[in-house]
Amino acid sequence: MRTRKILTGVFITALVVAIALIAARSYYVGIAIIVGMLLVGYRELWSLTTTRKLPPLDERIRESTGKSVRNGFIFLLLMLGYLMMPFAVRLVEDVEITLIFGSLLVLGGLVYCLSYIFYDRIEPKLSERRLRVLKGFIITIAISIAVFILGGLLHNLVFAFFEVEEPVFFVFAVILAPFGAVIGVIGSLVIFVQGLFIKSA
């Protein structure tokens, strides 16, 4: 009962804040809060709608929820850090700030949702070999993102100090990094989808 009251309070608060933001014409952030809360609380909302009861909160669910919240928080921190970098600021300087924050909230909720599905339904059914392959794809994505950021930063630094358009860092940032990220994302999605259809032993 206590958990249900807390959950209800959180959703009501989020709804009030979203309505206030929409009334203040911050449409993107308001809608993003609603979508983000639906993504984060989809499991509880579905259970309350269909059975009028909250799903059981056993140790596995608590652990999955904690890991998912951690992933969403790390994602938001990384994206905010990236947007504060000089070359990234120039890329989004003509975009409305509400659209940026709204997109971040929705993406953060999506990261939480996908993480929870993975920890709750997919990870227990994957073999150690598939988990290692998935970890390799995720590392590939992380390295590609790091190469993209560092390549863009170094390319701009070389141009700022020497006024020379160097090609090496540019190729790493614009061609190699996105290519590696695409491979990592596709590989991760394949294992993710396969895990959804693997029957539990």
Give residue-wise pLDDT tens across range 108-147.
777 877 888 888 888 888 888 999 999 999 999 989 988 8
Q: Tell me which residue of 195, 190, 189, 171 sits closest to 120, measured CA to CA.
A: 195
Matching residue, tokens 């998935």: 134
Q: Tell me which residue of 61, 58, 65, 191 sits closest to 128, measured CA to CA.
A: 191
Lowest mean pLDDT among 26-40, 138-152, 160-174, 186-200: 26-40
Q: State mean pLDDT over 87-103.
A: 62
* Boundaries of every domain in the chain: 126-201
Note the pTM of the prediction, 2 decimals: 0.67
Give residue-wise pLDDT tens across range 9-50.
656 666 676 676 666 666 666 676 666 666 666 666 666 667
Tell me: pLDDT of 170 over 60: yes
Residue 67 amino acid letter: K
The torsion angles phi and psi of 56, rounded to 5 degrees, stand at -65, 140
Q: State mean pLDDT over 146-154.
A: 84
Cα(17)–Cα(4) distance, rounded to whole angstroms?
20
Give residue-wise pLDDT tens across range 57-93.
667 777 877 888 888 888 888 877 776 765 555 555 5
CB 67 within 8 A of CB 111: no
Q: Would you state the pLDDT for residue 180?
A: 93
On average, the pLDDT of the chain sits at: 76
